[in-house]
A and B are shown apart, each in its own frame.
Chain A
Amino acid sequence: MKNLAIATVASALMASTALAGSHAMEAKVGVILGYTGPIESLTPMMADSAELALKEVNDSGKFLDGVTLVPVRADSTCIDSAAATAAAERLVTTEGVVAIMGADCSGVTGAVLSNVAVPNGVPMISPSATSPALSTAEDNGLFFRTAPSDARQGEVLAGILKDKGISEVAVTYTNNDYGKGLSDSFIASFEANGGKVTLNAPHDDGKADYSAEVGALASAGGELLVVLGYSDQGGKGMIQASLDTGAFDTFMMGDGMYGDALVEALGADMEGSFGAVPWSQGAGADAFKALTDAAGVNGESSFTRESYDAAALIALAMAKGGEATSAAVAANVLDVANAPGEPILPGELGKALEIIAAGGDVDYVGATNVELIGPGEAAGTYRYYTITGSAFETVDFR
């Protein structure tokens, strides 16, 4: 038994020295997403897209004299902050990642940021956490996101109502960080525009029956119902129950409600309802599509573009700082993301590295027209759509 223990320790030591040898040429990047949990159907594509960006950097051969970026995945679970913190802790202390692409859902992202990233000085770029609370979180300049804050979405939604001349609405939101944050920011903007919210009621996901919630909202009244939930969860249940009881027949929907399954199921009864969803268009989105198609990655899924951009920003910031360290990423993300400099589209990371190596400036545009504002978050473009003939029809982009 004793011999076995000695042998184990010895081999472990040898293995770790062997690893240390190759470490010099390797920099690990954590990819923390919810591979299990409520958004497990989206995360594989998000991770693939992020890893695609890292692979592109490695394949270019121009990254910091041959340093290789190695992605290391860890599970954020999307909902379990303790599990996400433990996973991130493992990445930072055991794997030694220098930066984190993630996390995904707002709640766990906040937990990883305050419990792991800030104490260890590791920067994070989240592709999908949209809670406004993260804008003001204590981050020591380590937190960035390529997804726009819901504070912005709230303004966009309020703006749409203003344009339509609607001044009195009832609001329901999914009872979590995302729903609460979005409804707060929407109501703040809407009331600033002179609108009146008759009732702001939460709904819980995964219930069988929403008639009680709808009953309260119907009593409060309003020209339409603003639904800030999920299209395959309580949000759909609320719309269904409203239509069933005749409480509301027009709805305005937040980004979580955008889904083909919703219009397939209820589209005919929702004629004239409308909403907004983050959207990318233009050269960057096209280049990203070409890139993912060529690599056999599904780039049409939600937040894949943001994931690619987050990973690309990490790599470019390292190049800009001249070393594959946490400090280099934190210090240079804003620099490479914003003007001035040569605009960089997806698939042009090699070109960007050349420019940086030559001492030039880059302005990473990426798949989502990245422009980091305020404390380092995407400004974002939203597509304002209406439901016409059981299909989403674009009105404009804002």
Chain B
Amino acid sequence: MDLLNALVALTNFVIVPAMAYGSQLALGALGVTLIYGILRFSNFAHGDTMAMGTMFAVLITWALQGAGVSLGPLPTALLSIPFAIAITAALMLLTDRVVYRFYRAQRVKPVILVIVSIGVMFVYNGVIRFIIGPEDQRFADGARFLISARDFKNATGLEEGLAIKSTQALTVVTAILVVAALFWFLNRTRTGKSMRAYSDNEDLALLSGINPERVVMVTWLIVAALATIAGVLYGLDKSFKPFTYFQLLLPIFAAAIVGGLGSPIGAIAGGFVVAFSEIGITYAWKKVLGYMMPESLAPDGLVQLLSTEYKFAVSFAILVIVLLFRPTGLFRGKSV
């Protein structure tokens, strides 16, 4: 019986990684959910939008590092985010202008817009590989650890170590700030309120004099910012590789749908639900249980519900279960 060690092991291998991953998913899912709520389609290009934004951030970071700019213990990439957001936003508006606006004017069915977004996804995909290539890119610098496993063990004398990477802490803090800002914007500002009105009832909003093109533009700007921030945080915490961003699409959609498409709070909750179940279900609980139970009851097996190979299957399973029992998601989003 050793509750303290159990707690530390659990924190180190489940809670800390899942918090960081959940924050990244939540930011991604917020972007998806905003587009769904306001533009009324599932944007499959979102993963590659994140990759696009991150790519700009990586290139700017390299330029800054080359020029000798540094934030000390913080990653230089933080400085590059505003610039990367500006470029990504310009690209989003350009895409909307040349692609989506045409279909919006035709008032096409959402499913056609979904297919269009898949086309956009492929174009982004190609452009990214053209500019930065398909390989792994590292752009993190600054202090690597807030607490390293070895220091923690030495300081506390516990058997288990606890490591918190500075990027993990940074991810959670940034995500909280960004989400707070977004909610303030949606609930307190005139533009934010007009966006919600447009989302709730398009015709009524138009009648009350809301300019739809302006709402669409602001939406794309916010989505560009969310996608870039989510992408950069994910890249800092793990590494930047275009293909893994494409793969993120599945957990992000799972998060958005679990929370309820179109509901910002749902997107955040969904992000954490998906992250915690992915990591919790594929984690081998042997060690934690071994500490918590008396020696005679300690498990021999790994107590791992699913092998880590099936990580993505967890997102699928959650998706199916939610769609079966609560099609509108946990927070009553728009019915699909």
Chain A contacts to B: CB under 8 angstroms: 175, 199, 201-204, 206-209, 211-216, 218-221, 244-247
B161 at the interface (CB under 8 A from A): yes
Residue on B with the closest CB to A214? Answer: B13
- Distance A31 CA – B279 CA, assembled complex (angstroms): 46
Residues on A with C-beta less than 8 A from B213 are: none
Given contacts A219-B288, A246-B149, 13 further A-B pairs with CB under 8 A are A199-B302, A201-B307, A208-B234, A212-B17, A214-B13, A215-B13, A215-B17, A219-B283, A219-B304, A220-B284, A245-B12, A246-B148, A247-B13
B285 at the interface (CB under 8 A from A): yes
Residues on A with C-beta less than 8 A from B165 are: 244
Residue on A with the closest CB to B240? Answer: A208
Minimum CB–CB distance from B51 to chain A (whole Å) comes to 11
- Within 8 Å by CB of A216, from B136, B244, B278, B308, lies B308
Q: Using a CB-CB cutoff of 8 Å, which residues 157-195 of chain B contact chain A?
A: 161, 163, 165
Q: Is B12 within 8 A of A212, CB to CB?
A: no
Most interface-central of B145, B150, B284 (chain A CB within 10 A): B284
Minimum CB–CB distance from A180 to chain B (whole Å) comes to 13
B239 at the interface (CB under 8 A from A): yes
Minimum CB–CB distance from A36 to chain B (whole Å) comes to 13
Residues on B with C-beta less than 8 A from A246 are: 12, 148-150, 152-153, 161, 163
- Distance A204 CA – B244 CA, assembled complex (angstroms): 12
| Given known A-B contacts A204-B309, A246-B149, A209 and B282 have beta carbons under 8 A apart | no
B214 at the interface (CB under 8 A from A): no
Minimum CB–CB distance from B78 to chain A (whole Å) comes to 19
Residues on B with C-beta less than 8 A from A247 are: 13
Residues on A with C-beta less than 8 A from B150 are: 246
Minimum CB–CB distance from B302 to chain A (whole Å) comes to 6
- Distance A207 CA – B163 CA, assembled complex (angstroms): 21
Q: Is B238 within 8 A of A215, CB to CB?
A: no
B286 at the interface (CB under 8 A from A): yes
Q: Is A209 within 8 A of B238, CB to CB?
A: yes
Residues on B with C-beta less than 8 A from A208 are: 234, 238-239, 241, 244
Q: Is B308 within 8 A of A212, CB to CB?
A: yes
Q: Is B243 within 8 A of A206, CB to CB?
A: yes
B55 at the interface (CB under 8 A from A): no
- Within 8 Å by CB of B284, from A203, A209, A216, lies A216
Could you pull out 28 A-B pairs where Cβ atoms are within 8 angstroms? A175-B309, A199-B302, A201-B307, A203-B308, A206-B243, A207-B244, A208-B244, A209-B21, A209-B238, A212-B282, A212-B283, A213-B308, A215-B14, A216-B282, A216-B283, A216-B284, A216-B302, A216-B307, A219-B286, A219-B302, A219-B304, A244-B149, A244-B163, A245-B12, A245-B13, A246-B153, A246-B161, A246-B163
Q: Is B243 within 8 A of A212, CB to CB?
A: no
Minimum CB–CB distance from A203 to chain B (whole Å) comes to 8
| Given known A-B contacts A201-B308, A245-B149, A221 and B239 have beta carbons under 8 A apart | no
B334 at the interface (CB under 8 A from A): no
Q: Using a CB-CB cutoff of 8 Å, which residues 128-161 of chain B contact chain A?
A: 136, 145, 148-150, 152-153, 161
- Distance A95 CA – B125 CA, assembled complex (angstroms): 38
- Distance A327 CA – B309 CA, assembled complex (angstroms): 45
Residues on B with C-beta less than 8 A from A244 are: 145, 149, 163, 165
B287 at the interface (CB under 8 A from A): yes
Residues on B with C-beta less than 8 A from A212 are: 17, 278-279, 282-283, 308, 311
Minimum CB–CB distance from A222 to chain B (whole Å) comes to 12
Most interface-central of A209, A212, A244, A247 (chain B CB within 10 A): A212
- Distance A201 CA – B163 CA, assembled complex (angstroms): 23
Residues on A with C-beta less than 8 A from B311 are: 212
- Distance A208 CA – B283 CA, assembled complex (angstroms): 17
| Given known A-B contacts A218-B287, A219-B286, A245 and B308 have beta carbons under 8 A apart | no
Chain B contacts to A: CB under 8 angstroms: 12-14, 17, 21, 136, 145, 148-150, 152-153, 161, 163, 165, 234, 237-239, 241, 243-244, 278-279, 282-288, 302, 304, 307-309, 311
| Given known A-B contacts A201-B308, A246-B153, A215 and B241 have beta carbons under 8 A apart | no
Residue on A with the closest CB to B160? Answer: A246
Minimum CB–CB distance from B244 to chain A (whole Å) comes to 4
Q: Is B283 within 8 A of A202, CB to CB?
A: no
- Distance A203 CA – B12 CA, assembled complex (angstroms): 20
- Distance A246 CA – B12 CA, assembled complex (angstroms): 9
- Distance A247 CA – B9 CA, assembled complex (angstroms): 10
Residues on A with C-beta less than 8 A from B243 are: 206
- Distance A214 CA – B283 CA, assembled complex (angstroms): 9
Residues on A with C-beta less than 8 A from B288 are: 219
Minimum CB–CB distance from A312 to chain B (whole Å) comes to 35
Residue on B with the closest CB to A242? Answer: B149
Residues on A with C-beta less than 8 A from B285 are: 219
Residue on B with the closest CB to A213? Answer: B308
- Distance A247 CA – B241 CA, assembled complex (angstroms): 25
Q: Is A245 within 8 A of B239, CB to CB?
A: no
Most interface-central of B14, B149, B165, B282 (chain A CB within 10 A): B149
- Distance A213 CA – B282 CA, assembled complex (angstroms): 8
Minimum CB–CB distance from A213 to chain B (whole Å) comes to 5
Residue on B with the closest CB to A246? Answer: B149
Residues on B with C-beta less than 8 A from A215 are: 13-14, 17, 279, 282-284, 308
Residue on A with the closest CB to B165? Answer: A244
Q: Is B307 within 8 A of A220, CB to CB?
A: no
- Distance A215 CA – B18 CA, assembled complex (angstroms): 12
Minimum CB–CB distance from B88 to chain A (whole Å) comes to 20
A-B pairs, 10 with minimum CB distance: A246-B149, A246-B161, A208-B238, A219-B284, A215-B13, A216-B284, A219-B287, A208-B244, A209-B238, A212-B308
Residues on B with C-beta less than 8 A from A207 are: 244
- Distance A364 CA – B14 CA, assembled complex (angstroms): 56
- Distance A245 CA – B304 CA, assembled complex (angstroms): 19
- Distance A207 CA – B243 CA, assembled complex (angstroms): 9
Residue on B with the closest CB to A175? Answer: B309
- Distance A215 CA – B15 CA, assembled complex (angstroms): 12
Minimum CB–CB distance from A293 to chain B (whole Å) comes to 31
- Distance A34 CA – B285 CA, assembled complex (angstroms): 42
Residue on A with the closest CB to B161? Answer: A246
Residues on A with C-beta less than 8 A from B237 are: 209
Residues on A with C-beta less than 8 A from B161 are: 245-246
- Distance A213 CA – B241 CA, assembled complex (angstroms): 19
Residue on A with the closest CB to B21? Answer: A209
Residues on A with C-beta less than 8 A from B238 are: 208-209
Residues on B with C-beta less than 8 A from A209 are: 17, 21, 237-238
Minimum CB–CB distance from A40 to chain B (whole Å) comes to 12
